[in-house]
Amino acid sequence: SQQGEEDPQALSIQEGENATMNCSYKTSINNLQWYRQNSGRGLVHLILIRSNEREKHSGRLRVTLDTSKKSSSLLITASRAADTASYFCATVLISNFGNEKLTFGTGTRLTIIP
């Protein structure tokens, strides 16, 4: 079953603009991760934010996490054509025994128009 719901399902913007994608989830988490998937390819890990963090940056990526609202956002600044892909949030729950379970959201299809 899906843990996260992403919004919007699809997003098209002009190259150079910023892209914002949102993710909402249902249960407590230990951390939240964002992944990118190019068409027909595997998923690539982008960034991880822990439950006690509120914001994290990596290059042109900015991720926020609001555990009270059970939501996260991914901002891609100064978008490029190469950013065209599907983006997924994934929540991680670590059990009392230390086992991790990664559950993906529904994804946002981002298209950058040159």
Partner 1 sequence: DAGVIQSPRHEVTEMGQEVTLRCKPISGHNSLFWYRQTMMRGLELLIYFNNNVPIDDSGMPEDRFSAKMPNASFSTLKIQPSEPRDSAVYFCASSLGHGYTFGSGTRLTVV
Q: What residues are paired with 3 via a beta bridge?
A: none
The Cα–Cα gap between 10 and 30 comes to: 27
Q: Which of 63, 88, 91, 110 binds partner 1 (CB under 8 A)?
A: 88
- Residues in region 48-67 near partner 1 by CB under 8 A: 48
**Rule CB under 8 A: is residue 110 a binding residue for partner 1?**
no
Please state, in angstroms and as integers, the Cα–Cα distance from residue 85 to each residue in 7, 22, 49, 68, 104, following that order: 15, 15, 21, 29, 16
Told to check if 44 binds partner 1 by CB under 8 A, we report yes
Least Cβ distance, residue 43 to partner 1 (angstroms): 4
Distance CA 99, CA 23 (A): 23
Taking the least distance from each CB to partner 1, the nearer of 85 and 90 is 90
Q: Does 11 bind partner 1 (CB under 8 A)?
A: no
Count of residues binding partner 1 (CB under 8 A)?
A: 23
> How, if at all, do strands 100-104 and 108-113 pair?
unpaired
Interface residues with partner 1 (CB under 8 A) are 1-2, 33, 35, 41-45, 48, 88, 90, 95, 98-107
